[in-house]
Amino acid sequence: MDTDRAVALAREDVDAGVGRWLPATADLEIDLSGPVGDSAFIAVRWVHRGTNTGADDPFLGLAPTGDLVEVHGVTLVEDCGDAEPVFHRFVDWVGVFDQLGMAVGGRLTVSEHPGQIGSPPDA
Amino acid sequence: MPIPMPYYLEKGPLFAVLESYINTGPDSRLVDALKKFRKGDPWESFEVLGSGSLKNPNQRDAADWVKHLHQHCFGKAPDGKGNWVQQPFHPVTNPQTGYWLGYYGDVDSIVRETFIRLLEVALGVDHDTNPNTPIVPTRRWPVVFLWKCSQSWFEGWVTWHRRGNGPKDGEVTVIWATPSVEGSIVLDSPLAGRNLAEYRVDPISTKTGPPWGGAAAVEATQGMWVVTHERNKPYAGSAVTTTAGSPKGQWPSPMPGRVCAEGRVVTVAPSMADGGVLAEGLAFTPPT
């Protein structure tokens, strides 16, 4: 697969995966200096900017905020020969959650209490 | 750093003793406390923090409690002139108040205002910002404290319920709704708490008895049970990796913190060390 083909496929994949809840306000920005790899895997670096609408297909079931959101990612486009290509996406989801205002609880879930049995009470 | 409490809802020894302090003794105890809060008196002046009931290897005396409050809860440091001061917010060098994860705010003022409001409701007096206004109680409602953490910012909730027209016919429930603290954990199973004497699984009544101590079962003064699945397991990371290959347009969901509950539904009474309550509470004892 050549890099132009990989870039085009990555663009279509981002439009289909992100554009549903984040319709683009500008053309998908592809780092044209970035596509690297061999014939089997090509890495495409991209930035997608859009407005968080998409009430019919909301992101994670969340109500659209109407805010401008910027998504950064890299897609590895895998050439599978005669089969359809496969996409491996590395996306800055933490940045997306932050821009959407999603809260993080900050507690680690554990199966055992680190305190000893009979530990003194605390507050 | 305090040993983290492992449940989402807590009371624990500090609030147990605080309840005992507020709900016993003469009305003047609450009137004096309200006067102090209205005047903005320092935390060192509140005797409840010196209670013998609160002495343990981690917080031995009132000075340690005051230091804990200032440093961890209010995010303050000594200024070298005898004052505790909170530094201004800075996104890099001072992004957080004390040990509250990801939150900056004036927790000291929130806590003080919450105490003013809850004492005014408990005593049946109007809100007043003038510290010299006489306080004449019209009632004495008991106060219950609970601490719920893991939200994004700090709140003090004061709720109350009148049950009649007598001076004791009502109660005040205070909920501290806060961010998580540094080092926070939560047990994936309510059965995994520290197995102290007052802990038991599937209580069948509100009476005390083995293993709560005492031969004869008697009605417990207090109780705090949690009802949930035996285990609440976060998905293994590999099961929801968002980088797995997939066809065009079919993106794995990046939703964080997903949980799948397992096992039967159980009822558990957490130990006081884990934020629960003792059957008879934890009585305030005067500073020695």
A107 and B13: CB-CB below 8 Å? no
Picking from A113-117, B193-197, B246-250, B271-275, which range would have the lowest pLDDT averaged per residue?
A113-117
Give me the DSSP letters along B169-217.
Answer: SEEEEEEEEEPPBTT-EEESSGGGS---TT-EES--SSB--TTSS-SS-
Which among B197, B270, B259, B264 is positioned nearest to B8, based on CA atoms?
B270
Maximum CA pair distance of chain B? 74
B248 and A88: CB-CB below 8 Å? no
Rounded to whole angstroms, how far apart are CA atoms B176 and B44? 21
Predicted local confidence at residue B131, as pLDDT: 92
Q: Which residues of B touch A110 (CB under 8 A)?
A: 6, 185-188
Predicted local confidence at residue A34, as pLDDT: 64
A91 and B254: CB-CB below 8 Å? yes
Which three-class secondary structure state does DSSP give residue A68?
Answer: strand
Predicted local confidence at residue A118, as pLDDT: 46
Examine the pLDDT at B2 and tell me if it is beyond 60: no
Is some CB atom of chain B closer than 8 A to the CB atom of A122?
Answer: yes
Residue to substitute from A102, A109, A116, interface B, most B β-carbons within 10 A? A109
Of residues B9 and A61, more confidently modeled: B9
Nearest-by-CA chain A residue for B101: A106
Which amino acid, one-letter code, is at A58?
P
pLDDT tens string, chain A, 123 residues long: the values are 888 888 899 999 998 888 888 887 776 777 656 667 777 889 999 999 988 887 677 888 788 888 899 999 999 999 999 999 999 999 999 899 989 888 777 788 888 877 644 444 444
How many cross-chain Cβ pairs, A to B, lie less than 8 Å apart?
129
Strands (E), chain A: 29-30, 36-37, 41-51, 68-78, 86-91, 108-110
Rounded to whole angstroms, how far apart are CA atoms A1 and B164? 80
The predicted-structure confidence for A43-52, as pLDDT tens digits, reads as follows: 999 999 988 8
**Torsional class of A115: left (φ above 0), alpha (ψ -120 to 50), beta (otherwise):** beta
Rounded to whole angstroms, how far apart are CA atoms A17 and A96? 14
Q: Per-residue confidence at B147, pLDDT binned at 50, 70, 90?
A: very high
Angle between the N-to-C axes of helices B107-123 and B27-39, in degrees from 0 to 180, rounded to the nearest 10: 140
Which among A59, A34, A121 is positioned nearest to B251, based on CA atoms?
A59
What average pLDDT does range B76-81 have in this prediction?
94
What average pLDDT does range B74-96 have in this prediction?
93
Is some CB atom of chain B closer than 8 A to the CB atom of A78?
Answer: yes
Mean pLDDT, chain B, integer: 88
Examine the pLDDT at B13 and tell me if it is beyond 80: yes
Cβ-proximal residues to B63 (8 Å cutoff; 6+ apart), any chain: B44
Q: Look up residue B119 and give its two tokens.
A: 């004492």
Q: Per-residue confidence at B258, pLDDT binned at 50, 70, 90?
A: confident
Cα dihedral B44→B46→B52→B55 (10° resolution) = -40
Question: Model ipTM?
Answer: 0.76
A106 and B184: CB-CB below 8 Å? yes
Cβ-proximal residues to A75 (8 Å cutoff; 6+ apart), any chain: A10, A13, A14, A43, A44, A46, A87, A88, A89, A90
Provide Rg for chain A, Cα atoms.
20
Provide φ and ψ at A48, rounded to 5°: -115, 125
Of A16, A106, A123, the CB nearest to B13: A123
Is some CB atom of chain B closer than 8 A to the CB atom of A101?
Answer: no
Is some CB atom of chain B closer than 8 A to the CB atom of A63?
Answer: no
The predicted-structure confidence for B187-242, as pLDDT tens digits, reads as follows: 989 888 886 666 677 888 888 755 555 567 788 888 899 999 998 887 765 456 78
DSSP-assigned beta bridge partners for residue B231:
B262
Q: Which residues of A touch B3 (CB under 8 A)?
A: 114-115, 119-120, 122
Predicted local confidence at residue B213, as pLDDT: 55
Predicted local confidence at residue A119, as pLDDT: 45
Class of residue B264 by CB neighbours under 10 A (exposed 0-12, middle 13-18, buried 19+): exposed
% of chain B at pLDDT higher than 90: 55
Nearest-by-CA chain B residue for A84: B247
Query: How many degrees, rounded to 5, is the angle at CA B140 between CA B134 and CA B145?
Result: 110
Which among B59, B5, B42, B48 is positioned nearest to B23, based on CA atoms?
B48
Strands of the sheet containing B170-178, edge to edge, are: B9-10, B143-149, B170-178, B155-162
B254 and A110: CB-CB below 8 Å? no
